[in-house]
């Protein structure tokens, strides 16, 4: 049997937990502060595989093994690795208070509606995109992915960072800072967790399901769900297929280039993605912001003309491009060079299709497309109905075969 003891936020390890143990595994600070039996072998956790090999040798000899961990070891902790290697039935897990629960308690906020994302040993970009998309996020940090790096990535976002360090110890610190302030600090190695909060929505509503929520009940919303100018909006039939090809999800970053009303941007945000909308007209910028606010989502709006303004943006997972001016092939080329997964282009002009297709193929995408032309039910006098045709639209999409882009870290 393996006893896995979570020390919680500074909770001491009782002597009876370690009584009779022949092997005690844990971090250096855990072993130093625990009453480890003198005759027990000790393994300092570093690379996991060698430690698990030692555990297996002791289990083969029917020896008692104790693993010391921080907080709740079943929450982004060592329980997963132990259960996969030895089976859950061989574990006696005694959980402590997780750093996430402790941090939210320190600032007096419920966290049943929080999203928790780990950047420990993982690419920081997923955590950054979740922080952009959700109002209440806890980030488990690690070397190269701490408060400074998170703050640097979130400078343009209206977020407060709560940096909780050395929770439960005499050196505990819980500090509220802006993203810029976080980026300018050296936080050391004692950071337990970082909370990223939208102050206007940090309390949240009463929930039935924990976590980020179930997502929208509908997508491809009717055009009248958005403010738009003279019907200049991506129609819902086109939007439905575009969303299917974009595949927006929590942790993704999506660009909506030539966003117009921002209907695609808003829908991607409703589905969980972080979204940047690029629009060159001032009234369009305000319209996008109003539509995002009306649907309760965050959309970062950039005022400027593509492809020039794209160089200052973080690399996207997927891109939607609307409109169809002379610069469209250049815009598609610029987006295709940066997109990690997919580019979707909607256009009315047949003449633009070959150049867009070549731009997508030239960037290494598998390219496909359709012409969409729908007829909607429309009433006529006398309580009868006719079919009213909408204008045809060409929708082309490119999908990167391996989901990678050369020179861009995953």
382 and 261 within one domain: yes
The domain total for the chain is 3
CATH of the domain at 117: 3.30.950.10
Residue 399 in this model has a pLDDT that exceeds 90: yes
36 and 24 within one domain: yes
CATH of the domain at 37: 3.40.1010.10
- For residues 265 and 251, what is the distance between their CA atoms, to the nearest angstrom? 15
In a domain, 217, yes or no: no
229 and 185 within one domain: no
86 and 104 within one domain: no
End residue of a domain, out of 38, 67, 97: 97
294 and 176 within one domain: no
Contact (CB, 8 A) for 174 and 162: yes
128 and 93 within one domain: no
Range(s) of the domain holding residue 26: 2-97
Digit-coded pLDDT (tens) for 26-66? 998 889 889 999 999 999 998 899 999 999 999 999 999 99
Digit-coded pLDDT (tens) for 225-281? 999 988 889 999 999 999 999 999 999 999 999 999 999 999 999 999 999 999 999
End residue of a domain, out of 82, 97, 112: 97
Residue 235 has, within 13 A of its CA and on its CB side, a CA count of: 17
- For residues 102 and 193, what is the distance between their CA atoms, to the nearest angstrom? 9
Please report which confidence band the pLDDT of residue 311 belongs to, taking 50, 70 and 90 as the band edges: very high
The confidence score (pLDDT) of residue 406 equals: 36
Whole-angstrom CA distances from 213 to 99, 115, 156, 206, 340 are 22, 9, 25, 12, 26
In a domain, 211, yes or no: no
Digit-coded pLDDT (tens) for 321-372? 997 688 999 999 999 999 999 999 999 999 999 999 999 999 999 999 999 9
284 and 328 within one domain: yes
CATH of the domain at 303: 3.40.50.150
Please measure the distance between the N-terminal and C-terminal CA atoms of the chain and give it in whole angstroms.
38
108 and 83 within one domain: no
131 and 260 within one domain: no
In a domain, 53, yes or no: yes
Residue 281 corresponds to which tokens in the numbers above? 């007209």
337 and 252 within one domain: yes
- For residues 6 and 380, what is the distance between their CA atoms, to the nearest angstrom? 70
The confidence score (pLDDT) of residue 211 equals: 80
Please report which confidence band the pLDDT of residue 220 belongs to, taking 50, 70 and 90 as the band edges: very high
- For residues 221 and 200, what is the distance between their CA atoms, to the nearest angstrom? 26
The confidence score (pLDDT) of residue 405 equals: 41
Please report which confidence band the pLDDT of residue 408 belongs to, taking 50, 70 and 90 as the band edges: very low
The confidence score (pLDDT) of residue 172 equals: 92
Nearest to 202, CA basis, from 130, 116, 281, 108: 108
Weakest-pLDDT range from 4-13, 16-25, 254-263, 377-386: 4-13
- For residues 353 and 363, what is the distance between their CA atoms, to the nearest angstrom? 16
Please report which confidence band the pLDDT of residue 379 belongs to, taking 50, 70 and 90 as the band edges: very high
Q: Which residue has the higher pLDDT, 246 or 121?
A: 246
- For residues 259 and 291, what is the distance between their CA atoms, to the nearest angstrom? 12
Mean pLDDT of 213-219: 83
Residue 404 in this model has a pLDDT that exceeds 70: no
The confidence score (pLDDT) of residue 325 equals: 80
pTM: 0.88
232 and 338 within one domain: yes
The confidence score (pLDDT) of residue 324 equals: 66
In a domain, 168, yes or no: yes
In a domain, 205, yes or no: no
39 and 60 within one domain: yes
What is the overall mean pLDDT for the chain? 92
Contact (CB, 8 A) for 386 and 378: yes
Nearest to 167, CA basis, from 195, 137, 204, 131: 195
Assign 130 to helix, strand or coil. helix
């Amino acid at each position: 049997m393996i006893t896995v003891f979570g020390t919680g936020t500074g909770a001491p390890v009782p002597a009876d937990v370690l009584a009779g143990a022949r092997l005690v595994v844990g971090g250096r600070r855990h072993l130093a502060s625990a009453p480890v039996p003198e005759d027990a072998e000790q393994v300092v956790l570093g690379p996991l595989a060698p430690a698990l090999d030692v555990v297996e040798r002791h289990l083969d000899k029917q020896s008692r093994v104790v693993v010391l961990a921080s907080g709740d070891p079943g929450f982004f902790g060592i329980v997963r690795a132990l259960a996969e290697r030895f089976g859950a039935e061989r574990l006696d897990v005694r959980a402590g208070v997780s750093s996430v629960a402790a941090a939210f308690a320190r600032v007096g906020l419920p966290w049943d509606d929080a999203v928790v994302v780990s950047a420990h040993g993982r690419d920081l970009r997923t955590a950054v995109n979740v922080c952009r998309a959700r109002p209440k996020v806890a980030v488990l940090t690690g070397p190269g992915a701490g408060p400074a790096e998170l703050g640097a990535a979130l400078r343009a976002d209206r977020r407060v960072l709560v940096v909780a360090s050395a929770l439960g110890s005499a050196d505990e610190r819980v500090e509220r800072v802006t993203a810029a302030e976080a980026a300018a600090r050296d936080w050391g190695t004692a950071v337990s967790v970082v909370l990223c909060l939208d102050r206007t929505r940090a309390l949240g509503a009463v929930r039935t399901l924990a976590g980020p929520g179930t997502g929208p009940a509908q997508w491809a919303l009717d055009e009248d769900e958005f403010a738009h100018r003279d019907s200049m909006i991506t129609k819902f039939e086109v939007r439905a297929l575009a969303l299917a090809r974009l595949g927006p999800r929590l942790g993704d970053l999506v660009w909506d280039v030539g966003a117009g009303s921002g209907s695609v941007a808003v829908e991607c945000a409703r589905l969980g993605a972080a979204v940047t909308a690029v629009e060159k007209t001032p009234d369009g910028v305000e319209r996008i912001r109003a539509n995002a606010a009306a649907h309760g989502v965050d959309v970062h709006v950039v005022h400027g003309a593509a492809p020039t303004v794209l160089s200052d943006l973080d690399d996207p997972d997927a891109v939607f491009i609307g409109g169809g001016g002379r610069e469209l092939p250049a815009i598609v080329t610029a987006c295709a060079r940066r997109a990690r997964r997919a580019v979707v282009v909607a256009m009315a002009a047949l003449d633009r299709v070959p150049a867009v297709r070549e731009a997508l193929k030239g960037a290494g995408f598998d390219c496909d497309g359709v012409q969409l032309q729908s007829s909607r039910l429309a009433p006529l006098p006398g309580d009868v109905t006719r079919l009213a045709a909408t204008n045809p639209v060409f929708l082309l999409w490119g999908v990167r075969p391996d989901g990678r882009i050369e020179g861009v870290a995953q």
